[in-house]
Amino acid sequence: MAFDALFTGITGLDAYQSWIDMISNNIANTATTGYKGQRMTFADLFYQQIGAPSGPTSTSGGINPEDLGLGVKVNTIDTEFAQGGLQTTGINTDLALNGDGFFILDNANGTSTPVYTRDGAFSLNANGLLYDPASGMAVQGYMANQAGQITATGVPGNITIPIGLQEQATATGSGVKVGPNINDQVFDMQVGGNLDQTQWSQQFLNSVGASANPGTPYTISTTIYDSLGNAHQATITYTPDAAGSTAATAATVNGGALSANATVQPANPIGTGGTAGSATTITITANAGGTGYNITDNATPTANATTALPGQTVNFDGATFTMANTAPTTGLTATINLKAAQNGLPTNVDNAQGTAETVGSRWAVSVSFTDGTQISTITKGGLDNAGAVTNPTFGVSSSGTVGYVYFNQNGQFINTSSIETTTPGTSLTGAAVSGFIHGAGGGIPSLNQGNQLNVTTWGAGVNNPATAPTAGGPAPTPGAIGIDFSENASLAGAFGANVISQNGFAAGTLSNITVGQNGDVTGAFTNGQTRTLAQLAVATFQNEQGLDRLGGNAFGQTAASGLAQVGTADTGRYGQIVSGALEQSNVNLANEFTNLIVAQRAFEANSRGITTADQNLITLINLRASEN
């Protein structure tokens, strides 16, 4: 009937006008931050059956149903959650989500139902509240404790970050510990870099009289802080230490075969205490013919030997001697007993894991202050006398030795100690010296281990007399500072020692914030420190299409969407947060204009159906009139 066509066309007009309305909304929101475009699908409305179906029979193949459609309806209006482009703004509180998820907004007092948005154009209000300035709603997340630790569980709350927040001063010795590995993070200051091994060798030569020039010390400086945040300049000096070294000697016995006693170079390594298997005794015997001398030593496994004529000067095994100038008497002998130079080093030192390593050098470490700061110092290093340790003695001064650092023959760090010298042939190993060397596994640094700077009294500080302790004000608390020397080495090369880190800092004020990919809000303070202040929460839904669009770039949870699954960015299915950027609308204008043309033509076509049905009705009416 023509009336059916009229109403069928009207359903088409309604449906395609709705499509045009939706397309217009998409186009209008091309520049809307975080906007997600919509799409529309259609379905046929219902059908009037004008012919019933029948099954096959012996005389008929069957008849299909005849259903006459009566219109169209809007089937679904879906949100396209495809990622929008990111536009850089340079504003730290402008945030964009790259991937799944929504920011969570709630009233500042938490009394409303949370809403969810992709629009991250946030700001800090006068109270430091991170909020959406368009709606006044607060961004939800988790606040950190004073240590910068976050427990991202439970119901998120407001994030408050007041610019001007104070960071309390932390004394060096009270901050986060460091160490050579995860099982030995017990130190407060870490030093590293190279100590020139050639300077230690030069110091040894000077100690035994082989050179007039001592080895050159190396000095570095660093700033440490007391409990009130006052800065103190500490000067750390590494001095090549060959204390306990002795020069080589040559003792002549029955020297009738010689014109004078033998001499030896002060640093001669051959003799007792020298290289394993080296000679300790030189024997000189006149030959059977009385024309010269046979010279041998007791080196093992093969002795060295040579000959000499009367009056000849001989250099043998590092010893220098001159033969008697007269013809030798058969059987005439002389003996030279050699004693090698000693370097004053222990043979071995246990490393932190308890493994003995052969020692190659030792450096004394001293620390000094010019502001009146007093520290515990080693006034006399300890002695390991074949397992019986003589304790070091300590004093208090503004400068002095705090420990001795040992390196192996490859120039690598072994350990520290307050024991400086040993009886020749003994070692800093085993239970006898366990309290005088550092052991891994959380052993606390100490004066006896030679790895502790123990401040007994703080001085006035550097360039801050206004905050220095006064007669009527608080005095900073003294304390111990553990020093990790494991990053030092002693190799033949230029000095390069330096302070890598220390865990103290002055008081500071929050001056800036940044937001990381995982939503961590990190504060930068005027004292150079950073601390995690909060972390943004993000939400996802099992069925994003079930969210209710509320306007103002907000979405609401519904029974169709399921409950919000709250978590943190950059974990699981949650996307990353990009700071200093906003997500652009994901509307594709080319597609929208194309769809607009299609919708317009469909609307026009349906209007033609209505006019055609109208013409048919007019024709019928005219037929009735013609009968009259």
Question: pLDDT for 225-270, tens place per residue?
Answer: 999 999 999 999 999 999 989 898 889 888 778 888 889 888 888 7
How large is the C-alpha radius of gyration of the chain? 46
* pLDDT band of 593, cuts 50, 70, 90: very high
Kindly report the three-state secondary structure assignment for every residue of 477-513: CCEEEEEEEEEEECCCCCCCCEEEEECCECCEEEEEE
C-alpha span between 443 and 455 (Å, rounded) = 20
Tell me, yes or no, whether 359 and 392 share the same domain.
yes
Please determine, for residue 367, whether its predicted confidence score (pLDDT) is greater than 90: yes
C-alpha span between 26 and 30 (Å, rounded) = 6
C-alpha span between 97 and 83 (Å, rounded) = 9
Q: Tell whether 112 is covered by a domain.
A: yes
Domain boundary among 320, 339, 358: 339
C-alpha span between 330 and 321 (Å, rounded) = 20
Backbone angles phi, psi at 367, to 5 degrees: -130, 140
Q: How far is CA 196 from the centre of its chain?
A: 29
Tell me, yes or no, whether 371 and 471 share the same domain.
yes
Tell me, yes or no, whether 487 and 367 share the same domain.
yes
- C-alpha torsion 203→205→208→213, nearest 10: -70
- List the Cα angle 277/280/281 in 5-degree steps: 130
Predicted structure pTM score = 0.74
Please determine, for residue 432, whether its predicted confidence score (pLDDT) is greater than 90: no
* pLDDT band of 462, cuts 50, 70, 90: low
Domain of 599 in residue numbering reads as 2-81+586-627
Quote helix, strand, coil % in the chain, to nearest 5.
15, 40, 45
Please determine, for residue 465, whether its predicted confidence score (pLDDT) is greater than 60: no
Q: Look over the chain and give the mean of its residue pLDDT values, rounded to a whole number.
A: 89
Tell me, yes or no, whether 377 and 240 share the same domain.
yes
Label the pairing between strands 115-117 and 102-106.
antiparallel
Tell me, yes or no, whether 195 and 232 share the same domain.
yes
Question: pLDDT for 23-72, tens place per residue?
Answer: 999 999 999 999 999 999 999 888 788 888 888 888 888 888 887 878 88
* pLDDT band of 2, cuts 50, 70, 90: low
Tell me, yes or no, whether 570 and 594 share the same domain.
no
Tell me, yes or no, whether 417 and 459 share the same domain.
yes
